[in-house]
Amino acid sequence: GGKGILLKSIGVVGANPDTVFEMVLSRDKHKRHEWDMLISDLELVETIDGYCDVVYGTYEPKYLNWWKSKKDFVFSRQWFRGQDGAYNILQSPASHKQKPPRHGYERTHINPTTWEIKRLNTSESTPKCIVTRMVEISPCFWDRWRRRTSSNFERSIPFALLSQVAGLREYFAANPAITPDLPSTVVKSKVSESLIIQSELEYSEPNDEFYDALVRGESFEGDS
């Protein structure tokens, strides 16, 4: 039961934090396909207290085509905005009674992850922000991956999660005029009794490892 290992991807995105935040939370399939190499479809299952929801999704077969079976997942998202205008989004694997295992799909679990979106102070007129994506993996998975598939990290879910930062950066570079157009209405509801958070890893004092999503997986190799 060791502590989880954190992998990080950090990038400068040419947009303000509000716009990036809305894009990360967006369930618009056409927009997500522009920058997200992992998720194909994302469906809202339940909204909880306006600052947390539960979503159901499927993986994007275009990029994850080495899997022989279709895969889906359920996870919760909780977000908050700090006094400095920075956003944090916490994502945890979950289960929900409205989304039991689906015929023809293998249910998988997304790693516990965190988004941090902070404004970057710059003299340029174009707004920019620093986006950090942190993915937590268990030590046993990390050791197993290093022993068996260290040359194929780019064919893993953690790599696809980390690559979302690079996808956002390229998306906003190609679409500099984009502004938030999503509804920001806070929907209140009772705390769900059907949601089960399944994160079992510890977030305190993780073994911190930095990773740029554009660097090949071989950069992870090293002494144990």
- pTM exceeding 0.85: no
Structural element, H or E, at residue 106: strand 105-107
Structural domains of the chain, with CATH: 5-217 (3.30.530.20)
104 or 209, greater pLDDT: 104
List the beta bridge partners of residue 56: 43, 74
Give the whole-angstrom CA distance, residue 112 versus residue 190. Answer: 24
Structural element, H or E, at residue 167: helix 157-174
Is residue 107 pLDDT above 60, yes or no? yes
Kindly state the percentage of the chain with pLDDT values over 70. Answer: 68
Handedness of CA 6, 7, 11, 17 (dihedral sign): negative
Mean pLDDT of the chain: 76
Q: What is the mean pLDDT of residues 34-62?
A: 88
Q: Which range, 49-53, 92-96, 115-119, 188-192, has the best average confidence (pLDDT)?
A: 115-119
The closest of 4, 9, 12 to 118, measured between CA atoms, is 12
Is residue 206 pLDDT above 80, yes or no? no
Show the tokens assigned to 182: 């999503």
